[in-house]
Structure 1
Amino acid sequence: MNIVVLAGSNVGEKSSIVADKVMTELNVKYGVDHSYTLLDLKDYEMQFSDGRNYLDYTGDNKLITETIMGADILIIATPIFQASIPAALKNVFDLLPQSALQNKVSAIIATAGSNRHYLIPEQQLKPILSYMKSTIVPNYVFLLDTDYTAGKINNDDIHFRLEKLIEDTIVLATAYKGIWEAQEEAYGF
């Protein structure tokens, strides 16, 4: 399977730290069984969506949208800014067509400065992913600023929950892939 890890902010470091941790975990636990791509929005120069078809964009916009469209699994690591998802992440969704995530499994990892923002993924990110036809892993991992020290995740429970989220995501994607393939074969053409 083709797995894309999206660090959904063009500023800060916490999304990048957790995205790197996910990439490391994927490589260690699943090795060459899958292909992995890290899209850290800090590393790209993106234009704001202006309503064009995603195929009409060039440069980093085209690279990011085509990489996401080619994924089987999308793991999103995002900070919470002002009780909302970052504009850079929302822009990625705005660039994609409505059914861009159909037959893809999505997982969420969110970092915030306050535990009061725990439900932001439920209220903002899950509805967007659902609207775009993604199959969403029901649980997500939520980290606080206090879970990081000197550029690393310092909470053992977070490490365990990340490992479990990755495992659940791969299991769900594998199961759905089999179901979707059987459904396609049933059409007989």
Structure 2
Amino acid sequence: MKLLGISGTLVGTKTCILVEQVLVEAKRICPEVDIQLLDLKDYQVEFCDGRQQSSYNEDTQKVIELVSVADCYVIGTPIFQGSITGALKNLFDLISPQALRHKVMGFVANGGTYQHYLVIENQLKPIASFFRAFVAPGSVYAHTDHFNEKNELVDPEVRERVAQLAWEVVHMHWSLKSGGVHAHR
């Protein structure tokens, strides 16, 4: 099982920290899980404009391939102006819907106001629905106050939600793979 964590931002560190913590927890729960982090700020991803995948630059092609071959995902974004980042939306636009179909997604987000937690429900879950992906029932939203001055996640309730999300993603993937929808395709 390949679990890909996606930090869907080009700035800051809190989103990446949240995604990494879910990946580490998933590995702790299920040591055979192959975890990988895709931090979008490490790549020069071109804007999606409808052309063939082969005509994008190497970084864009590599990112598309990493996403396409993963079995399940933990996808993170900071919330800016009440929305996901443009970088993450661009990534979704680059990916073929068939690449994400029937795969499990878990979501994490962070922001400066407590109201932004609804972006997971109102924006990320509908995107997953478009891709016909399965969504973990829980999610993680972390406010700036949940981190200390070193950007370490210190809030015990948020840390518990991180652990729960990791369990849900791993459990859902294995449950579906062992006889659910994959057996009836």
TM-score by length of 2: 0.93
Q: Percent same amino acid among aligned pairs?
A: 33
Q: What CA deviation, in whole Å up to 9, does each residue of 1:106-139 have, x standing for no partner?
A: 0001101001112111111111111011111122
* Partner SS for 1:118: helix
Q: What CA deviation, in whole Å up to 9, does each residue of 1:158-178 have, x standing for no partner?
A: 111100110011111111112
CA distance in 2, matches of 1:119, 1:92: 21
Q: Tell me the number of residue pairs that the alignment of Structure 1 and Structure 2 aligns.
A: 183
Once the two structures are overlaid, the 10-residue window that deviates more, 107-116 or 11-20, is 11-20
Consecutive unaligned residues in structure 2, runs of 5 or more: none
CA distance in 1, matches of 2:28, 2:75: 19
1:105 is the counterpart of 2:104: yes
Alignment of 1:1-189 (within 5 A): 1-31=1-31, 33-149=32-148, 150-178=150-178, 179-184=180-185
Residue identity in the other structure for 1:70: V
Deviation beyond 4 Å, 4+ runs, structure 1: none
TM-score by length of 1: 0.91
RMSD of aligned alpha carbons: 1.4
CA distance in 1, matches of 2:46, 2:68: 18
CA distance in 2, matches of 1:102, 1:58: 25
Cα pair 2:79 2:111 within 8 Å, conserved: yes
* Partner SS for 1:10: coil
Consecutive unaligned residues in structure 1, runs of 5 or more: 185-189
Corresponding residue for residue 187 of structure 1: none
Q: How far did 1:181 drift?
A: 3.7
